[in-house]
Amino acid sequence: MEQMLRGKVGLVTGAAGGIGRGSAEVCAEEGATVIVSDLESMEKEGRETVAIIEEAGGTAAWLPCDVTSAAEQERLVAFAVERYGRLDFAHNNAGIVIEGLITEMSEEDYDRQIAVNMKGVFLGMKYQLRQMIEQGGGAIVNTSSMAGLNGSPEAVGYVASKHGVIGLTKTAAAEWVGHNIRVNCICPGGTWTPMMRRQPPDRLEVAFRSIPIGRWADPREMGSVAAWLCSDGASFVTGVAMPVDGGGALGRGFSPKKNAGGGMA
């Protein structure tokens, strides 16, 4: 079967682990050259992602980026163009979660989540779109969450930022649909990432019960959806917030109380 990203160049943020690593791996397996990016403090893990890709016969490069910095986001796109000549797709995946009730969360913690999860997507798209407009097309996928489609207790900053990612995605899609550029986002449900593994056992149990399909998602499953959205196979898809949640959106009769905290990715 022909690789769906063969010959394309892309970047993935938050790729030192979790969904970002899964996305980078799948994109490389599908023939893309992938720029793996994460915080400088995550260099060891980021280079591990590169090594996994290279050992499997793919092509990848590491470049750190703090997604809240316009200068570093611009440098990331410039790196792709200077080294590989273009940027065909981007997966803006970097994100954080800091738990807390609305009445308890500090302003600093709220602002930090908005900065990483939402401003980071805005800044990424700002420079990615400029390059894609210049070269005549491209595709962008942003990582929202099922928490971006619903509410979730004790996660006000995360939920607000992930709702914002969907708004950014739809706006960018509408602005640039006439320039051969597609912009979509994925809304992961319960995915077995380092972020999920840090949850307390009681929250993990509740989250697991909110997945009708009866298992956690592997990060590569999210990567497969992101890779498809970046490929020509999704050439008629733009402005979509796609649930990838094992049927969680079906509800399956669960009450909000029973579901509290479930499905964050």
Active site residues per annotation = 158
The answer to whether the Cα torsion of 241, 187, 219, 12 is positive or negative is: positive
User: What's the rounded Cα separation, in Å, for the pair 264 and 238?
Assistant: 24
Say which DSSP state 14 is in: S
Close Cβ partners of 130 (under 8 Å, ≥ 6 residues apart): 77
Which candidate, 217, 219, 215, 205, places its Cα nearest to that of 260? 205
- Which SS3 state, helix, strand or coil, does residue 21 take? helix
Q: Is the Cβ–Cβ distance between 183 and 239 less than 8 Å?
A: yes
Contact present, 201 and 207 (Cβ < 8 Å): no
Would you give the DSSP letter of residue 216? P
Is the CB of residue 11 less than 8 Å from the CB of residue 125? Answer: no
* Backbone torsions φ then ψ of 38, nearest 5 degrees: -165, -175
d(CA 185, CA 101): 26
